[in-house]
Amino acid sequence: MDLSFTQDNDRRLRSLLDSYPTRQACLLPALQLAQEQFGYLSHEVMLLVAERLELSPASVFSTATFYTLFNKRPVGRHHIQVCGNVSCFLRGGDAVLAALEQELGIKAGQTTADGRFTLSVVQCLASCGTAPSLQVNDSTHEEMTGEKAVALVRKLREEKP
Ligand code: FES
């Protein structure tokens, strides 16, 4: 296998393995670490995690594909994940999604041609009380409106590549 963790991430992985009671229990943080390094969990990356944790590939694949927080294909620098679940929908989540699709010129599930933005619809982000919610990479944005979502995209565009 050509893929490997960087020295620093290899150290972090060994430290994770030392701090969890079982290798299975260490799987989620190991996948997070892998996604942090590789950007998404390709088939090869999941095999690498399986090998390092001495778990079956099936166990790693089933966990990685269950959680929407793990990207199974390349995403843009800003991965905007809009909650499509009921609380957010009832409070205008569909309007937030529509505003983002219009501003970005893409549909949910697509990435802008410049590779800067990926737009996805995901299930509950655990911010139902402050719906509608969305997440950009690791940060959650609550009580969104279409206007707020567009302003957020415009602010992100101003960031240096
Ligand atoms: S339903 Fe949207 S955060 Fe829970």
Question: 36-55 pLDDT, tens per residue?
Answer: 999 999 999 999 999 999 99
Collapsing DSSP to helix, strand or coil, 49 comes out as helix
* Model confidence band, residue 68 (pLDDT cutoffs 50, 70, 90): confident
Burial class (CB in 10 A: 0-12, 13-18, 19+), 158: exposed
The CB of 124 under 6 Å from ligand 1? The reply is yes
| One-letter amino acid for residue 108 of the chain | A
**Most ligand 1 atoms within 8 A of CB, residue of 68, 69, 88 to mutate:** 88
Residue 13 CA to ligand 1 center (angstroms) comes to 31
> Are residues 1 and 47 in contact, defined by beta-carbon separation less than 8 angstroms?
yes
- pLDDT tens profile 99-124: 999 999 999 999 999 999 999 999 99
- pLDDT tens profile 5-42: 999 999 999 999 999 999 999 999 999 999 999 999 99
Nearest Cα residue to 31 out of 43, 44, 49: 49
